[in-house]
Amino acid sequence: MLVNSAISPRGARFPGRYMQAAGAIGLLGQEAGRYGKSAIVLVDRGVFDMLEQPVSSAFRGEADVVLLRHGGECSERAVSELVARASAASVDVVIGIGGGKALDTAKAAACDLRLPVIVVPTIAASDAPCSALAVIYTENGTVAYDRFLPDNPDLVLVDTALIAKAPARFLAAGIGDALATWYEADACRRSGASNCMKMPGVPLAFEIARFCRATIFEHGTAALAECDAGRAGPAIERVIEANILLSGIGFESGGVAAAHAIHHGLCELDDVHHHLHGEKVAIGVLAGLKINGDQDEFERVRDFCLAVRLPTRLSDIGIADATEEKLAIVARRACRSGEIIHNEPVPVSEEMVVAALKALI
Ligand SMILES: [Zn+2]
C-alpha cells in the first residue's frame, strides 16, 4: 500500500480569475454580482475620494454596495473591524481596492468570513495582489507576521488606466519585484527546493517566471515612459501583467530564494525604510547574482535596473555608510537557519552575503 509520505507532488496555484483593462473598475459591480446581491468595498484612503463615485456607479443596477475608507494599516484590528462591518451588512463578497495594505485587509477578512474576495490593485508596485498571502502589521506599523491564506483571490481586477496615473516609481518598484521572480524560481528549480505550497513547482511555474523576465526586459523602459505620461499604452499593459500576474504566479508556484532573503536582511536597517519593497528586492537580485558568481548576468541585470530607474547600489536605498556592522546584520538575518536563501543551488554563508553587498557599495 502506498503511504502518503511516498507521494511527492509538484504544484502551482493561481488566482481564480484575472481581468485587465483600462477602465476595468467600471466592471466591478457586474463582476461582484456573480457572487451575490451585496458587497462591501474597502477603499484605500489615498484613492477613496477619487474612486467613491466611479465605484458607486459601477454597482448601480448590479448589486448593493457598502463603501468603507481603509484606515491605512493591515492590522488584526483593521481585519476584525472589516469582518464586523461585513457581518452586520450580511454581504456576499468582500472587495479591496488600493495598495497592498487595503488588499491584504480585504483578503484576510474574507478568509475569516469564508466569503469570496475581489482585489483591485491601484498600483503595480509588487506581485502581492494575486497571492494567498496577507502581511499583518502591528498598530505602530512594524510587520507582525505573514498570514498564509488557504486560497488565492477569487478575482483580481486590474484597471490599467488607474495604475498608469499613479507615480512611475511604483511601477518601477513592481518591475524590481518581478525581476526577482525568474532568478529565485530558477534557483529553486536547480536545487529542488519547494515553492510556497511546500512542494516543488510544476514546469509551467518556471515558464511563467521566464516569460515574466522576458516581458519586463522587453517593455520595461517604454512602460515607464507611458506611466510618466499617465497613459495606459501597450507597453504598460504588458508590464502590469508581468508585475502582478506573471510574477505573482511565478513566485508562489516557482519558489523564492536569495533576492527576498537579502530584502528581509536589508529591512533590519532603519536606513532603508523610505524605500519600496521592489527597490530593495532589486538590490537582492544583484547581490544574489554576485553570490552565484554570474558576472555576465549581473552586468545585464544592472544595466536593466539603471534603465528602469531601479537602485543598483546600497546608497540608492538609503545605506550611505555601509559599515561592516550593518552588512553583518543584513547577512545574519538573510542566512538564518531555515531561511529561503538556502533554496539557492549553492550553499550560502554570511560571509558570501557580506562580500556580495560590498560589491554594491
Ligand atoms: Zn516580493
pLDDT attached to residue 132:
97
Of 247, 193, 184, give the one whose Cα is nearest residue 215: 247
Specify the CATH class of 168-358 in words.
mainly alpha
Mean pLDDT value across residues 197-201: 97
pLDDT attached to residue 3:
65
Whether 55 contacts 67, CB under 8 Å: yes
pLDDT per residue over 66-110, tens digit each? Answer: 999 999 999 999 999 999 999 999 999 999 999 999 999 999 999
Q: What's the CA-to-centroid distance between 173 and ligand 1, angstroms?
A: 10
Mean pLDDT value across residues 207-224: 98
Q: What's the CA-to-centroid distance between 60 and ligand 1, angstroms?
A: 36
pLDDT attached to residue 141:
80
pLDDT attached to residue 140:
80
Q: Where exactly does CATH 1.20.1090.10 map onto the chain?
A: 168-358
Q: Where exactly does CATH 3.40.50.1970 map onto the chain?
A: 17-165
Residues marked active site are found at 177, 260, 263, 277
Cell numbers for 80: 476584525
Q: What's the CA-to-centroid distance between 294 and ligand 1, angstroms?
A: 22
Q: What's the CA-to-centroid distance between 187 and ligand 1, angstroms?
A: 16
Give me the count of residues in the chain. 361
Give this prediction's pTM: 0.97
**Phi, psi of 72, deg, nearest 5:** 115, -20
**Count of beta carbons in the 10 Å neighbourhood of residue 78:** 23
Q: What's the CA-to-centroid distance between 280 and ligand 1, angstroms?
A: 9
Mean pLDDT value across residues 171-176: 98
Q: What's the CA-to-centroid distance between 123 and ligand 1, angstroms?
A: 14
Give the percent of the chain with pLDDT over 90.
97
Q: What's the CA-to-centroid distance between 270 and ligand 1, angstroms?
A: 19
> Is pLDDT at 2 greater than 70 in this prediction?
no
pLDDT attached to residue 136:
96
Buried b (16+ CB within 10 A) or exposed e, 283-300: bbbbbbbbbbeeeeebee
Cell numbers for 49: 475620494
pLDDT attached to residue 6:
87
- Arithmetic mean of pLDDT over the chain: 97
pLDDT attached to residue 143:
85
**Count of beta carbons in the 10 Å neighbourhood of residue 193:** 21
Fold category of 17-165 in CATH: Rossmann fold (3.40.50)
Q: Mind spelling out the 3-state secondary structure of the chain?
A: CCCHHHCCCCECCCCCEEEEECCHHHHHHHHHCCCCCEEEEEECCCCHHHHHHHHHHHHCCCCEEEEEECCCCCEHHHHHHHHHHHHHCCCCEEEEEECHHHHHHHHHHHHHHCCCEEEEECCCCCCCCCCCEEEEECCCCCEEEEEECCCCCCEEEEEHHHHHHCCHHHHHHHHHHHHHHHHHHHHHHHHCCCCCCCCCECHHHHHHHHHHHHHHHHHHHHHHHHHHCCCCCHHHHHHHHHHHHHHHHHHHHHCCCHHHHHHHHHCCCHHHCCCCHHHHHHHHHHHHHHHCCCHHHHHHHHHHHHHCCCCCCHHHHCCCCCCHHHHHHHHHHHCCCCCHHHHCCCCCCHHHHHHHHHCCC
- Which residues are found with C-beta within 5 Å of the ion, ligand 1? 177
Return d(Cα 330, Cα 118) in angstroms, integer. Answer: 36
Give the percent of the chain with pLDDT over 70.
99
Enumerate residues 6+ apart whose C-beta is below 8 A from 312. 282, 283, 286, 302, 305, 306, 360
Of 342, 347, 348, 350, give the one whose Cα is nearest residue 324: 350
The pLDDT confidence band at residue 1, using thresholds 50, 70 and 90, is low
Q: What's the CA-to-centroid distance between 260 and ligand 1, angstroms?
A: 7
pLDDT per residue over 301-357, tens digit each? Answer: 999 999 999 999 999 999 999 999 999 999 999 999 999 999 999 999 999 999 999
Q: Which amino acid would we find at residue 207? A: E
Q: Which amino acid would we find at residue 247? A: S
Enumerate residues 6+ apart whose C-beta is below 8 A from 350. 328, 331, 332, 334, 335
